[in-house]
Structure formats: structure tokens, C-alpha cells
Amino acid sequence: MTATVTSADGTPIAFDTYGSGTPVLLVGGAVNDRTTVAGLAAVLADAGFAAIAYDRRGRGDSGDAPVYAVEREIDDLEVLIEAVGGSAAVFGHSSGAILSLEAAARGLPITKVAVYEPPYIGDDRPRPAEDLVDRVSARLADGDRDGAVELFLVEGTGTPAEIVESMKAAPVWGWFVGLAHTLPYDLTVCGRGNRLPADRLAAITVPVLSLSGGAGEAWMTSSSKAVAAAVAHGRYEEIPGQDHGVLNAPESLRDVLTNFLR
């Protein structure tokens, strides 16, 4: 059964709890909601955890606010942690990984942080333009949701334009377009230029497990390794055979997350 908590600004945040035991919040990335982490939630529940799959603001059954700020999303995590017992571990995927790290850096009662391919960019690929979030927002303001998704994928994630064109004929495109209004949120979480904030990450004192896929892109592996190096108690591991779509193969994360979270 889906439950709801109210964040500090009055925004309702919807979540599902799978299993019982030590609570673990699952934080999805761009064009994700609580359904896309449900498979991993079921895996963790089977392993003896209480896995919390929630809709980030603006998605699914959660509410939204007229003006977005990363601080409000951290407030959302804080009220969820309070609702599940006052402290929790966190797993974040992609931009949700960056949000999880920011929450830990700002002192939320987080016991451990596991992240998968946080999209910080080093020297492995060109950085997105500083004004990408502004241009995506402008397309949305003009009602061009398809154009906003295309711009996000090509410039934000480095997806080749020809692959994006082929994606437009796939069922997933409608899903992306449906969540297009939240893309500026994820771009804001990542920061202009997707630079790794070494000073903020250095403030994290809890254990951090940083993961990437063995079949993924080199720049995401570099980012994951950089995160492990930037925190006081960081460790990097590779998930063999997986790429950025690891949430579609949640069993691949069972052992590594179970061992870390216990």
C-alpha cells in the first residue's frame, strides 16, 4: 500500500515499503519514478531489508512546487527518513546518486550511501554547456516536451543523435516525454557542467560504496571511482556485464548491496 508524507514545504511525497528490517531509501535518477526502482526494492526486501521506493517530487503520486530547489528534495529525503525510523541507508542511481551524496554531505541521518554511476564529468567527455538547464527549461515553457527530452539526452547524457532518433519510435519515448518537466530538476542536481564537488563530498563521514557497470561507459566508471576517492570512507566496485540500465537487472546488485548494507 502506498503511503504519503508531507515535506517541509507542504509537498506530499508518495512511497512504497517492501519488506522489513534495516530501512534503505532508493533514489531514482532522471525519467524515473518509484516503479523503476521497484525491482531492486523487491530484491532488497528478499534479502532482509525494508526498501523504500518513493516518487521524487513532480513524479508519480508525489506533489510538486512552483519553484524547484535541490534543498527541497533533500527535505523530502529527510522527512522520509524520519517516517521510516529516524535513520536509513540510501541507494541512488545516476542523478539520484548525486542527490543521495548531497543529502549525506548536508548531514541527514544517513548510515551508509551506495551510489551507481553518478554522472559527474571529468576529462573523459565534453561537459554539457553551462546553460543546458536553461535551454531545456525554455523548450518546456514553449510546450516542446519532445525537444526537451532530445536536448537532455544528446547534450546532457552524451547519447548520439542517431540513437535518440531511433528511441523516438520506441514505447520508452512516451515515458520520457511524460516526465520531461522534471529534467531541469535532475540537471540542477547535477550542477552546471556536472563537476564533481570535491569539497562537499569530503564532508561525508559515513561509508560510501560507489559502483559502475563493467559494460558501461568509461566516463561513468571514472566518475564512480572519483566519488570513492573523494569521500573519507569510500570504496569502488564494478558490476560485471552491466551498464547504466542496471535497474533492469536488479539481481546483479543483490550481493554487493547486501554485503555493504549489512
Collapsing DSSP to helix, strand or coil, 203 comes out as coil
DSSP summary character for residue 64: -
Give 239-255 pLDDT, tens digit per residue.
999 999 999 999 999 99
Q: Residue 70: is its pLDDT beyond 90?
A: yes
Which helix (DSSP H) or strand (DSSP E) does residue 150 occupy?
Answer: helix 145-151
Under the banding of pLDDT at 50, 70 and 90, the label for residue 95 is: very high
Q: What does pLDDT average to over the chain?
A: 97
Check if the beta carbon of residue 117 is closer than 8 Å to that of residue 218.
Answer: no
CA distance 110 to 78: 9
For the segment 135-151, the average pLDDT, to the nearest whole number, is 98
Give 2-24 pLDDT, tens digit per residue.
999 999 999 999 999 999 999 99
Cα atoms found within 13 Å of the Cα of residue 229, Cβ hemisphere only: 7
Give 178-209 pLDDT, tens digit per residue.
999 999 999 999 999 999 999 999 999 999 99
Q: Residue 134: is its pLDDT beyond 90?
A: yes
Q: Residue 43: is its pLDDT beyond 90?
A: yes
pLDDT at 86: 98
Check if the beta carbon of residue 140 is closer than 8 Å to that of residue 134.
Answer: no
The dihedral region occupied by 117, where left means phi > 0, alpha psi between -120 and 50, and beta the remainder, is left
Collapsing DSSP to helix, strand or coil, 73 comes out as helix
Could you tell me the pTM of the whole model?
A: 0.97
* CA distances in angstroms from 26 to 56, 130, 141, 174, 195, listed in the order given: 10, 29, 30, 24, 23
Under the banding of pLDDT at 50, 70 and 90, the label for residue 1 is: confident
